[in-house]
A = this chain, B = another copy of it.
Amino acid sequence: MSDDGARIGHLIQLLARLPGLGPRSARRAALHLVKKRDSLLVPLLKALEGVAETVAPCTICGNYDTINPCAICADPERQPGLLCVVAEVGDLWALERGGSFPGRYHVLGGLLSPLDGIGPEDLGLDRLTARCQSERVEEVILALPATVDGQTTAHVIAKRLGGVGTTVSTLAQGVPVGGELDYLDDGTLSTALKARRPVL
């Protein structure tokens, strides 16, 4: 790379920060973009612009949408009193692709992780408790990954919500140990959702 390094090199560095792309594949991706300037680079640029300008987290549930509250929170067909708690928006999307959950969601934006210094206040667990009370939520389904952090988070939330009288359940067997929700097939997710079991 010569002087073009200034421009293209910077693009490669940013692309390498995307999950799934390493330094080499980022270089390939950058070259591909330059080569397909009009058919890919410019459309991608416009798509990023559109997302940057219009997509934001829903202030109620944390889902990403172009409207606030998001389409799910605003949907009158959604069953009130039923809330599914997920770690990330990608997990919410995975459940929506399954199409079998009739309630609304609450996105934590992460998991409790003492090692990484992520505590209850970082995930807004007080806000979740307050939401359950103000929306008179009857059942919270914890759709959290079957990892140590996921199960710690589930335990802490179950204890808090049990204290305010909300029924708390988790996804049933079907979620493989260490498995991330976003990578499961839709059928497995639906099954696990239907066979959910109470916690505590």
Contacts and interface: CB of A to CB of B under 8 A. Distances in A.
A4 B64 contact: yes
Contact of A2 (B25, B40, B54, B70): B70
A20 B28 contact: yes
Interface stretch (A5-13, A112-120, A122-130, A160-168): A5-13
Contacts of A30: 51
A71 interface: yes
Nearest to A97: B1
Q: How many monomers of this chain does the complex have?
A: 2
A32 interface: yes
A121 interface: no
Given A47-B11, A51-B11, A29 B24 contact: no
A70 B2 CA distance: 9
Interface of A: 1-4, 6-8, 10-11, 14-15, 17-21, 24-25, 27-35, 37, 40-45, 47-52, 54-55, 63-67, 70-72, 75, 88-90, 93, 96-97, 182-183
A8 B55 contact: yes
A7 B44 contact: no
A47 B88 contact: no
A4 B88 contact: no
Contacts of A66: 3-4, 6-7
B71 A2 contact: yes
A33 B8 contact: no
27 contacts: A2-B96, A3-B67, A3-B71, A4-B65, A7-B47, A8-B64, A11-B51, A14-B44, A14-B47, A15-B18, A18-B21, A18-B29, A18-B32, A18-B33, A19-B25, A20-B21, A20-B25, A20-B28, A20-B29, A21-B21, A28-B90, A31-B93, A34-B51, A34-B64, A37-B52, A44-B48, A45-B48
